């Protein structure tokens, strides 16, 4: 599933652009903080729901990025891989370029 990344291929390189990755990262952070903070302020039921939200977002994250990460990890072992940008930035999203 290419929901969170865009793959473009030329004759000499493969480029992955992870434009929506900051949304997933911030959702994971927010739901994890909710699961930790809600019991401390006296709302344990909200903590359980927040933890379920964390698990759901994590499963979506893993399902959407598994194919791309498998190809990137394989290329890291055999070829040159260059990374640009940040996984927390909307202006400068994470871009990974694999040379063939």
Query: Which 3 state secondary structure label does DSSP give 89?
Result: coil
Contacts of 30 (CB under 8 A, 6+ apart): none
Q: What is the pLDDT of residue 44?
A: 83
Q: What is the pLDDT of residue 22?
A: 87
Query: Which 3 state secondary structure label does DSSP give 54?
Result: helix
DSSP line for 53-98: HHHHHHHHHHHHHHHHHHHHHHHHHHS-EEEESBTT-SSSBEEEEE
Residue with tokens 């793959």: 7
Per-residue pLDDT of the chain (100 residues), as tens digits, is 567 788 899 999 999 998 888 888 888 888 888 888 888 888 888 888 888 888 888 888 888 888 888 989 999 898 889 999 998 888 998 999 998 8
Contacts of 17 (CB under 8 A, 6+ apart): 5, 6, 8, 93, 94, 95
pTM of the model: 0.75
């Amino acid at each position: 599933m290419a929901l969170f990344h865009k793959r473009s291929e030329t004759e000499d390189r493969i480029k992955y652009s992870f434009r929506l990755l900051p949304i997933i990262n911030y959702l994971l952070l927010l739901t994890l903080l909710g699961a930790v903070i809600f019991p401390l302020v006296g709302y344990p039921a909200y903590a359980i729901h927040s933890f379920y939200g964390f698990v759901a977002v994590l499963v979506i994250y893993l399902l959407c990025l598994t194919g791309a990460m498998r190809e990137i990890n394989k290329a890291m072992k055999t070829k040159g891989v260059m990374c640009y940008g940040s996984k927390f930035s909307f202006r400068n999203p994470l871009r990974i370029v694999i040379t063939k």
